[in-house]
Structure 1
Amino acid sequence: MSELTKRILFAVPAAAFFLYLTYVGGAYFAALIVLIGLLIQREVSVISGKAGFPSDPLFPYIIGLWVLLSPFFHHDLAVGLAVFLLFTGTQIVKPGDRGLKSLISTSFCGLYAPLGLLALLLVRQLGNTKTGFVLTLSLLLMVWGNDIFAYFGGKNFGKNHLAPKISPNKTWEGFFFGVAGALAGLTVALYLVPIAYPSPLLLMLPAVLLVSVFGPVGDLTASRLKRAAGVKDASTLLPGHGGFFDRFDAFILAAPAFYVYLKFLEVMGYVSF
């Protein structure tokens, strides 16, 4: 069985399950995102350790849970400040350079993936449940469309490397195919899903570009971390796909970019959620 076949056989039911819980929303979707966030944090912590920056064994998850659950806290800032004080105090007293390395790596492992996935939760909470679903669906389809089009476009037409020292397989041709894929994903959400989209296509074109830029940047970030650690995949948890970090690396930066743009439209009075 080829690697591509294994990827497809796993990806189709996994995507269907993810879309179902996205549609259901509420606590089910939040629990799924929190679980994915914790699994990614575990993978990033292992990668960081192999790269020479071991993180604290506990605090990445405490920080991550605070970030991901902050929309549901009544006193999220106070809780965060308490975590910050406790974390800094316990790390800096470690002997030698362990404390400084742990302070840096734990901060990154605790914040990077959770902040990105928090944006995914916040997009799902925009407007009523149908609006939140179609917005989240459009983000998913844009990222997936970008990834699929970039892969096949780069494989068949790629000649000019995008970032050869970080990810030798990425090309500018693949990047531009990815933009077309993101646009195709957004078009599906706007015109083929029987739920009213809160914004016209013209206003969403900058979102296509943002997702097409920050999704690959998230991918390149993961590639750079793995290269520093000397590993190909974040883990082997997902058949044919590596780990959760490998599958969600694009969302970690694409989701915040999409959410910030939606809030910009809202502040400017172009949309109302």
Structure 2
Amino acid sequence: MEGRDDLPTRVLSALVGVLLLLWVLWGGLALILPTLVFVLWLGSLELRDMLAKRGIRLNLPFLVGGGVLLFLFSLPQLYWHFPQVPWREVALGLFLLGSFSYELLRGADLTRFAFTLMAFLYLPWSLGYVLLLREIPDSTLGLWTLSLPLVASFATDIGAYFVGRTLGRQKLAPEISPGKTVEGSLGGIAVSFLALALYTGLVREVFPFGLLELWLFSLLLSLAAQLGDLVESMLKRYCGVKDSGHFLPGHGGLLDRIDSLLFTFPLTYFLVVLFT
């Protein structure tokens, strides 16, 4: 009964979230960059609060400050004008040097360093690919490119939920997420393929994929989406929490909503570069 009472809230907040997301993506880098900074800030706070339950501290100023620097170094304009410079790797190197120096001066807390580095790769490193995807191959078609991981992730989520709920029998990862099933995982892969096939078919001139390429694309993105979901479930189980936060009514924290995207954004960038 509680799940039914919560359903209207979940649907309404999801609808509002999707509309805001579409508006931000349509607005281009001018809206995407500050939105990513906000997501980084809130996601870092959620990670900090979760890990604090295990007595683990994060170097929050370095995580957020280094993440903002990484976003700036992920701007496509830098790659257009200075293609010989590996900008994102430079940002990672500066973050490592700064974090090591901080620990040498402030107590050498290697656990704090290790988890801050993990959080840096988990949040800003993955999110930075949004800026690159939005401009591949240009600012007009980049919107369609960026939509691919969104469609794949949402379709996987929906397919895994409904197929797992109706047909699920064999547990996928019982020690991490007892509710997920092998049948649900396969359903997510199938629905992701159907959704991408329909979506790319409607705008065939934008996505010149053959059927084999599309199947490979959807399979990898669906697997990445499920891996991202499981990784966040692993983090929550490690910290002993049910949700990462309370950002969205009926949906939990921000990280609960973007966990699959944190894996599909980078993979989409790699696949698009490889295919094109």
Q: TM-score, normalised to structure 1's length?
A: 0.89
Gaps of 5+ in 2: none
Query: Are the structure 2 counterparts of residues 101 and 142 from structure 1 closer, same or farther at C-alpha, using a change threshold of 3 Å?
Result: same
Aligned pairs, number: 264
Question: What amino acid maps onto 2:112 in structure 1?
Answer: S
Correspondence list, 1:57-76, <5 A? 57-72=60-75, 76=87
Query: Could you tell me which residue of structure 2 aligns to residue 180 of structure 1?
Result: 190
C-alpha distance in structure 1 between counterparts of 2:204 and 2:20, whole Å: 20
Query: Could you tell me which residue of structure 2 aligns to residue 269 of structure 1?
Result: none
Query: Could you tell me which residue of structure 1 aligns to residue 172 of structure 2?
Result: 162
C-alpha distance in structure 1 between counterparts of 2:137 and 2:91, whole Å: 27
Query: Could you tell me which residue of structure 1 aligns to residue 274 of structure 2?
Result: 264
Deviations, residues 82-101 of structure 1 (Å, cap 9, x unaligned):
44322211123433xx6111
Q: CA deviation at 1:198?
A: 4.2
Q: CA deviation at 1:263?
A: 1.3
Correspondence list, 1:100-249, <5 A? 100-193=110-203, 196-249=206-259
Query: Could you tell me which residue of structure 2 aligns to residue 87 of structure 1?
Result: 99
Deviations, residues 91-134 of structure 1 (Å, cap 9, x unaligned):
23433xx6111111111122211122122222212112232111
Query: Are the structure 2 counterparts of residues 90 and 176 from structure 1 closer, same or farther at C-alpha, using a change threshold of 3 Å?
Result: same
Over the aligned positions, Cα root-mean-square deviation in angstroms equals 2.1
Deviations, residues 36-90 of structure 1 (Å, cap 9, x unaligned):
1222122112222222321123111112112222123678465554443222111
Gaps of 5+ in 1: 267-273
Describe the SS at the equivalent of 2:58. coil
Query: Could you tell me which residue of structure 2 aligns to residue 23 of structure 1?
Result: 26
Describe the SS at the equivalent of 2:133. helix
Q: CA deviation at 1:195?
A: 6.3
Question: What amino acid maps onto 1:176 in structure 2?
Answer: L
Give yes or no for contact 1:131–1:197 (8 Å, CA) kept in 2.
no
Q: CA deviation at 1:194?
A: 8.2
Describe the SS at the equivalent of 2:227. helix
Q: Report sequence identity in percent.
A: 29
Q: Say whether 1:5 aligns with 2:15.
A: no
Runs of 4+ in 1 over 6 A off after TM superposition: none
Describe the SS at the equivalent of 1:58. helix
C-alpha distance in structure 1 between counterparts of 2:219 and 2:73, whole Å: 29
C-alpha distance in structure 2 between counterparts of 1:123 and 1:199, whole Å: 17
Shifted more, 174-183 versus 119-128: the winner is 119-128
Give yes or no for contact 1:137–1:189 (8 Å, CA) kept in 2.
no
C-alpha distance in structure 2 between counterparts of 1:155 and 1:136, whole Å: 30
